Amino acid sequence: MELTAIKVPGKKKRGNTKAAVATTNPLKRPSSGRPLKLLDPSDETQSSASSEPTSKKRKNRSLKSIKSRRKMSDLEKLPTEILEVIFLFCLNINLPNASPVIAGKLSSPIIYNKTLLAAFGPTWASSHGRKSIGLKDRGGDPVLQSAILRCRWATLPVMLNAKDMWIQRFATDKVFKPVWFVADNNPPSDDDDSSAEETDNPTKITAREHLDTDFQDFSDVVLNWEESDGCLLDYCHLGLNFDVADAIEIPSSLLSGPWNEDTLKYLFWLITSGASIDWCHTTSGEVGLEGLKKAITFGDSRAIVILVWVGMKVELNVNLMVYALRNAGGDKFAVITQLWMLNFPSVNNKGARIIEKEIADMMDEAQQEGDNEKYDLAVKISKSETLATILYSSEPNYGVMDFEARK
């Protein structure tokens, strides 16, 4: 007996009989499954853009979007022209740090140049075209100039462009006689107190051209210096091109390193412009000492010379020499002897014994470790005539290090 089919309202089911299945149109699908949907390139770009993290989008906010999303103060609502006048009148370098709106309005090359002209102009006016020897008052505010040098926008090209702009506006009639780092490049002068304006040979050279040439000559001298050439600072000129105020503070980032070609040139420009380390009122001395040790570790000869010249000469002592013996990088012997040739002071008998013991320990350690390179370095250092001059300047009979004779 066949079962009676029960029809339920609202249910539409396919027939399970063979006839019903045969009449049903089969679905045309590939055996491997449903094909993937092809995306349009524009849709893919939009989807990838929408999938970016929100933090990255916020970093790319424009000044207009910042204004539209927050309530601005009365100072932020001022027109850019009026805000620029206020900033140039007060020269408060911390004003752009008050809000991103103010920083955005004051971030322009024109404002940078006007700020540098206002801050460094008095210094350039007092020193440009004059002899550096005998110049007592450089002019300018060292606190303001130090604050500007710590700004990220105060790069070396910006500083040099501002100096050239100042010359074009206010000093086209002044004769500029540059002072070069290498003493041989400076012409002899009989009167050190005479003004450069009295000379008949005006120098048409930009600040950038002068720095590039001077830094290249400095690099050639330092990188090609040998022990037999004597004290390095004897071949350097003590005169400076005073482009910064007296008692200016050098940025810590330039003193501590590490240095690339641009930062090293920037530090060189500051030193030749009259900047130095203030040991009494700032922490630049401690930062400079760490930078000097870092330069020794890196084997950066140019950084060592610049830091010693800027004021780290007082740290040329036995402790620094011991540190160099153990941690010098690059051409180790060249770095160590270069420290000695930077007018290293003579040491007493106690200091000489400390250095001798350190070199002897290096030899013993090298023999135990089988490090021939370290042993050869220690032997080469012990036979250095420069080291013998420093250690035994009061005892000329020793010549080179003689461990047996010193016991």
pLDDT tens, position by position, 136-188:
667 788 999 999 999 999 999 999 999 999 988 887 777 667 777 776 666 66
pLDDT higher than threshold 90 for residue 405? no
Are 295 and 303 within 8 A, CB to CB? yes
Lowest mean pLDDT among 72-76, 308-312, 368-372, 394-398: 394-398
Q: What pLDDT, on the 0 to 100 scale, is given for residue 82? A: 92
Q: Is the peptide bond preceding residue 258 cis, with omega within 30 degrees of 0?
A: yes
Q: What pLDDT, on the 0 to 100 scale, is given for residue 36? A: 58
Are 303 and 263 within 8 A, CB to CB? no
- Which residues fall within 8 angstroms of residue 232, CB to CB, at 6 or more apart? 221, 222, 225, 305, 338, 341, 342
Residue 299: half-sphere exposure toward Cβ, Cα within 13 Å:
9
- Which residues fall within 8 angstroms of residue 218, CB to CB, at 6 or more apart? 181, 182, 268, 302
Query: With 0-12 CB in 10 A as exposed, 13-18 as middle and 19+ as buried, what is 69?
Result: exposed
pLDDT higher than threshold 50 for residue 98? yes
Give the helix ranges, DSSP H, for 51-108: 54-59, 63-69, 80-90, 100-105
- Which 3 state secondary structure label does DSSP give 192? coil
What is the distance in angstroms between the CA of the first residue and the CA of the last residue of the chain?
Answer: 126
What is the phi/psi pair of residue 76, to 5°?
Answer: -70, -25
CA angle 112, 114, 116 (to 5 degrees): 70
Are 311 and 274 within 8 A, CB to CB? no
pLDDT higher than threshold 60 for residue 29? no
The token duo for 9 is 């309202």
* Residues facing residue 186 across a β-bridge: none
Lowest mean pLDDT among 9-18, 169-178, 285-294, 359-368: 9-18
The token duo for 35 is 């094909």
Q: What pLDDT, on the 0 to 100 scale, is given for residue 407? A: 37
pLDDT higher than threshold 60 for residue 298? yes
* Residues facing residue 182 across a β-bridge: 236
Query: What is the model's pTM?
Result: 0.73
The token duo for 136 is 């007592």
The pLDDT mean for the chain works out to 77
The token duo for 64 is 């207009």
Closest C-alpha among 93, 95, 105 to residue 67: 105
Q: How many angstroms separate the CA atoms of 145 and 99, rounded?
A: 22
Rounded average pLDDT over 313-330: 86
Q: What pLDDT, on the 0 to 100 scale, is given for residue 147? A: 94
Name the residue ranges covered by the structural domains of the chain. 108-345
Q: How many angstroms separate the CA atoms of 382 and 318, rounded?
A: 15
Tell me how many helices (H) and strands (E) the chain has: 20, 0
- Per-residue pLDDT of 104-122, as tens digits, reads 999 999 999 999 999 999 9
Q: How many angstroms separate the CA atoms of 261 and 251, rounded?
A: 17
Q: How many angstroms separate the CA atoms of 237 and 178, rounded?
A: 12
- Which residues fall within 8 angstroms of residue 64, CB to CB, at 6 or more apart? none
- Per-residue pLDDT of 44-62, as tens digits, reads 555 555 555 555 455 555 6
Q: What pLDDT, on the 0 to 100 scale, is given for residue 21? A: 62
Give the helix ranges, DSSP H, for 128-260: 142-149, 156-170, 207-223, 252-256
Q: Which residue has the higher pLDDT, 123 or 68?
A: 123
